[in-house]
C-alpha cells in the first residue's frame, strides 16, 4: 500500500546553470561543478599563514566542453 507507480518526472527539476568560463547556459545534469574561491590570493597578503586562512569557496559550474578543456574531468563517455 502506498506505493505509487508511474508518475515519475523525467529529469525532475534541472535548472540550467551558467558556465563560469564561457557563460553558456547548460543543464545542471550536464554541468560539472567546480570550486571557485572568492579571488582572494593569500600569497598577496604578507605575513599570513595560508594554512590558517579559511578561503570561502563558491560553488560554480562549468559546461562539459570547458570542463574537458580545463581538465576538470577525466575522459568519461
Ligand atoms: Zn563553458
Ligand 1 centroid from CA 71, angstroms: 12
Which pLDDT tens digit goes with each residue over 24-39?
A: 999 999 999 887 765 6
Contact by Cβ (8 Å): 16, 26:
yes
pLDDT of residue 53: 72
Which pLDDT tens digit goes with each residue over 33-70?
A: 887 765 666 667 777 776 777 767 778 899 999 999 98
For residue 66, give the H/E element and its range: helix 64-69
Q: Output 55 or 11, whichever has higher pLDDT.
A: 55
pLDDT of residue 4: 65
Residue position matching grid coordinates 563517455 = 77
Pairing of strands 32-37, 16-18: unpaired
Regarding the domain with residue range 15-39+50-77, which homologous superfamily does it belong to in the CATH classification? Ribosomal protein S26 (3.30.1740.20)
Ligand 1 centroid from CA 21, angstroms: 5
Residue 52, helix vs strand vs coil: helix
pLDDT of residue 63: 94
Ligand 1 centroid from CA 36, angstroms: 14
Contact by Cβ (8 Å): 37, 54:
no
Asked if the model's pLDDT at residue 10 lies above 60, the reply is no
Amino acid at each position: 500500500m502506498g506505493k505509487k507507480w508511474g508518475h515519475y518526472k523525467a529529469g525532475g527539476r534541472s535548472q540550467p546553470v551558467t558556465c563560469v568560463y564561457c557563460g553558456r547556459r547548460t543543464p545542471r545534469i550536464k554541468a560539472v561543478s567546480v570550486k571557485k574561491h572568492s579571488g582572494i590570493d593569500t600569497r598577496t597578503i604578507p605575513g599570513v599563514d595560508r594554512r590558517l586562512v579559511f578561503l570561502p569557496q563558491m560553488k560554480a559550474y562549468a559546461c562539459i566542453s570547458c570542463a574537458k578543456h580545463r581538465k576538470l574531468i577525466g575522459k568519461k563517455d
